[in-house]
Structure 1
Amino acid sequence: MYKQISSTQNTTIKHILQLQEKSRSRKKEGKCILEGFRELTLALEGNYAIDTLLFYPEICSYERIQELLATAKNTPECIEISKEVYQKIAYRGSTEGVLAIIQTKEHSLKTITFHNKTPLILVAEAPEKPGNIGALLRTADAANIDAVFIANPKTDLYNPNIVRSSVGCVFTTQIAMGSTAEIISFLQEKDIAIYCAALTASEHYHLQNYQKATAIVVGTEATGLSDEWLNNSTQNIIIPMQGKIDSMNVSVAAAIVIFEAKRQRSFL
């Protein structure tokens, strides 16, 4: 028999709301909130530990909970919640009746491991919009690249909007965060070519050779990349625009270049 919570004033429920709303609490405790079976399944696949699992039995059956927990590396506390509580803590409209408190991970450069000699990496400098970060992570997953680096991060990686917009890819993608200087040093030490998306001193992206170890670097749509990146670039690249504007959404631009790199590598 599982523990039950029916009051929205319960301390556990208040704790969940705090983790959802406050980046400081997530970072201090090393925990975040996760919703939905797809996201939970990916978190378990990414070897994340679940502290507490909450479910609304009218939507999520006991059998589904048992199936989910069968793949968990630990035994979390399971709590049955009422409709009122579920509606209070569900961050989005359709979460399939299940939420969890999970332990977050460290995302330093020292945690990165490559399983081949020619890794393909996406680097995003100072992305702020959770939707863009989530879209970049989905692109990385779709192309099955080796890692995503976030330089000079402005947003908490476990922001609920990033978790949601990445559709759980934040849990299965190898991610590292650091300063621009740290990431450039890391790439140079490992002899990884740096291709910076930029408007100046650029060559067309499809004319480059991405078959070697490669980092594709993108900046924000508003300011682009910092001089520090441009000064250390192997080659600046550009996607030729045929309309009236000179740029596109950062996740779209990243996808175009990444899949060109994947196309080239398909011939190896």
Structure 2
Amino acid sequence: MKRIDSVKNPRVKAWKKLKTRKEREKEGLFLVEGYHLVEEALKHGVRELIMSEDIALPNHWDVKECEVYIVPSSLIREIADTETTQGILAVCEMREEDKGKPAEKILLIDGIQDPGNLGTIIRTAEASGIELVVLGKGTVDLYNGKTIRSTQGALFHVPIIREDLGAFISELKERQVPVYGTSLKNALPYREVEKSEKFAILLGNEGSGVKEEYLEMTTQNLYIPIIGKSESLNVAVAAGIVLYHFV
């Protein structure tokens, strides 16, 4: 274990920079914080572990493969993204997914902007057995602190890639994977859409929905009927309903 006491230390400066998307993408690194997320991260590889001097590591954690730094609680607050920190953070490497066997249960994300929504959707997708999540252009950063916290560790358990959705949908259709858009236009109630062993669900932006160009490429569009007087459902809630229908 190494100790750092100064906010001017180069390691502290480097960790603080990881709170910006530009620096994360430049370095290929991101931060996770809190006991649960750090424990999940340790199962998949952590580069550096940062802990407050006033906490203890759980006995069952295996930290032999990473550098461990002890810092004052004041420094933890400088590095952490949350106001009330648990005193434990980890620096992780962004994953490059192996595109070996093509996935057959896929979630496509078109321009979702809220990090909490994206994280919740990823968590739901992983729980429902989705094999691949594809983030299209305009979607909020996967490694935003709020996104990571909202996944509750699911980002470590399901492959997530960024791709051009138009090209990816074309590839799916060539593989005869049905693609179901979510929209009111030319759509059926989701329960009327026949389930299949392989499928891709396409979710869109909270305000404007799925881009028209993608909706025109789908096998079928579907919607969730609204029984009450609300105009719409939160996109993360809608994702859960549709995903569990198909799986």
Quick check: TM above 0.5?
Answer: yes
Q: Which amino acid aligns with 1:96?
A: Q
Mean alpha-carbon deviation: is it higher for 181-190 or for 122-131? 181-190
Q: Which amino acid aligns with 1:91?
A: D
- Alignment of 1:147 onto 2:143: no
CA shift, 1:114, in A, is 4.5
Partner of 1:124: 109
C-alpha offsets along residues 50-88 of structure 1, whole Å, 9 cap, x if unaligned?
Answer: 221111242233xx2x63225x7xx22111111221222
- Taking a change above 3 Å as real, the CA distance of residues 178 and 261 of structure 1, as seen in their structure-2 partners, is same
Partner of 2:89: 99
Q: Give 5+ residue unaligned stretches, structure 1.
A: 263-268
CA shift, 1:137, in A, is 0.7
Aligned CA RMSD, in angstroms, stands at: 2.0
Percent pairwise identity: 30
2:120 and 2:151 in contact (8 A); partners too: yes
SS at match of 1:50: coil
C-alpha offsets along residues 116-145 of structure 1, whole Å, 9 cap, x if unaligned?
Answer: xxx222111111111111011111122122
- Taking a change above 3 Å as real, the CA distance of residues 169 and 94 of structure 1, as seen in their structure-2 partners, is farther
- Taking a change above 3 Å as real, the CA distance of residues 97 and 146 of structure 1, as seen in their structure-2 partners, is same
Matching residue within 42, 61, 73 for 1:83: 73
CA distance in 2 between counterparts of 1:163 and 1:95 reads: 15
Q: Give 5+ residue unaligned stretches, structure 2.
A: none
Partner of 1:10: 9
Q: Which amino acid aligns with 1:83?
A: S
Matching residue within 47, 52, 71 for 1:51: 47
CA distance in 1 between counterparts of 2:200 and 2:139 reads: 20
Q: 5 Å matches for 1:111-260?
A: 111=99, 113-114=101-102, 119-260=104-245
- Taking a change above 3 Å as real, the CA distance of residues 235 and 170 of structure 1, as seen in their structure-2 partners, is same
CA distance in 2 between counterparts of 1:182 and 1:43 reads: 32
Q: Which amino acid aligns with 1:59?
A: I
Mean alpha-carbon deviation: is it higher for 90-99 or for 231-240? 90-99
C-alpha offsets along residues 226-264 of structure 1, whole Å, 9 cap, x if unaligned?
Answer: 1222111111101111223432111111110111112xx
Partner of 1:30: 28
Q: Which amino acid aligns with 1:52?
A: E
1:136 and 1:254 in contact (8 A); partners too: yes
CA distance in 1 between counterparts of 2:9 and 2:67 reads: 16
Q: Name the count of aligned residue pairs.
A: 247
Q: 5 Å matches for 1:253-268?
A: 253-262=238-247
SS at match of 1:123: strand
CA distance in 1 between counterparts of 2:100 and 2:213 reads: 22
CA distance in 2 between counterparts of 1:141 and 1:95 reads: 26
Higher helix share: 1
CA distance in 2 between counterparts of 1:258 and 1:106 reads: 25
C-alpha offsets along residues 119-175 of structure 1, whole Å, 9 cap, x if unaligned?
Answer: 222111111111111011111122122111112243221111111111121222211
